[in-house]
Amino acid sequence: MRSDHEQAPAPRPGLLKALKQAAFVLAPVIFVTLFLSHQADKDAIAFDFHHYYWPAGDRVLHGLTPYVHGPWFPSEVPVGFVYPAPTAVIFAAVAVIPREIGDVLFTALCIVAPLVTLRLLDVRDWRAYAIVLLWAPTVFGIQTANLSMLFAVAVAAMWRYRDRPAVTGLVFGVVVAMKLFLFPLGLFYLATRRFVALAYAVATMIAFTALSWVVIGVDEIARYRTTIEDFTYLREDYGFSLIGFVETVGGGRTLAYAIAVALATATAAACVLAARAGRESNAFILAIAISLLLTPIMWLHYLALLLVPVGLRCPRLHVLWVLPILFFYDGTLVDPSTVQVALTLLLAVTIVGAALARPDRWRESASAAS
């Protein structure tokens, strides 16, 4: 029996460490679960898959065009499917699955996607895998079940297999065919003289695009162009894009595009200079930045691409892993105010700039090995 002056034994260090790890992992899991539960009450889970991807694929599966508006798409944006033919054809294969089952499976895929992205970037710190589930772009991408989460995986794969021309070229070609806004990543291949990979990408994109339009109908190309023009006109100043921001503050459409092109050109020059100096990871990050600068419409989940710059330069937990949580600063994920867009763009620039300023761990590793 312990005497009064004896103290109870201190908890074992191993137990404390295990409890800290459990808390670190459970916090984002609980947060995401509560967030998705809240969105489920508003019938907003897997919104993009349920209301856009699956219906477009179902129409293609039944020999109908996805590029007209009807009751199969939400009424708030009176246009047809806004993705090109390859995306519609891919989801035609998915549409053989009942929509409700597809909602669950595609949402699960979007949850796994950021974790796969980090694994492809060789991020080993388990805390980073937990904290990305607190990123607003990640949570929004999961909630909407948007393709942006899978594009982040593809971009990470392009970096991981950059010295395997067939693999990286195939991935890049498929991604650009599905969504054109990532085409500036081709500058990375040009700047680093990976011409074989770029040739694979161009061939893949052309072949996939041509075959997909044959499936849907070549005569639907004109209707698709009209759909894109109408959608851009309706939603250009609705999200978080630089172009939309300039238009919102009264700059006008011409000035908005001029500013975006000027900044993208300067960033492209920096990308080429970084590549010539041997700083390939910097060149890759800058190519991603160009994609985000030039897109006329940008929703918050597009910024899930920032997983790649942060993962490239921070293999272990760093303040950069925490900054994207600040995209939750007011809880507004769609239809932001002008001030909210300005703060979001400023935060994105800060994250990219901080990633570029970090030491290049790939070169450091090579120096250490030599």
pLDDT at 13: 60
d(CA 370, CA 367): 5
Strand (E) positions, the chain? none
User: Between 173 and 25, where is the model more confident?
Assistant: 173
Please state the rounded mean pLDDT for residues 339-353. Answer: 93
- Against a cut of 0.95, is the pTM above it? no
Model confidence pLDDT, tens digit, residues 97-140: 999 999 999 999 999 999 999 999 999 888 899 999 989 999 99
Model confidence pLDDT, tens digit, residues 295-319: 999 999 999 999 999 999 998 888 8
Please state the rounded mean pLDDT for residues 316-336. Answer: 78
pLDDT at 332: 58
Percent of the chain scored above 90 by pLDDT? 70
Percent of the chain scored above 70 by pLDDT? 89
pLDDT tier, 368 (very low <50, low <70, confident <90, very high otherwise):
very low
pLDDT at 266: 98
pLDDT at 267: 97
- Domain ranges in the chain? 35-358
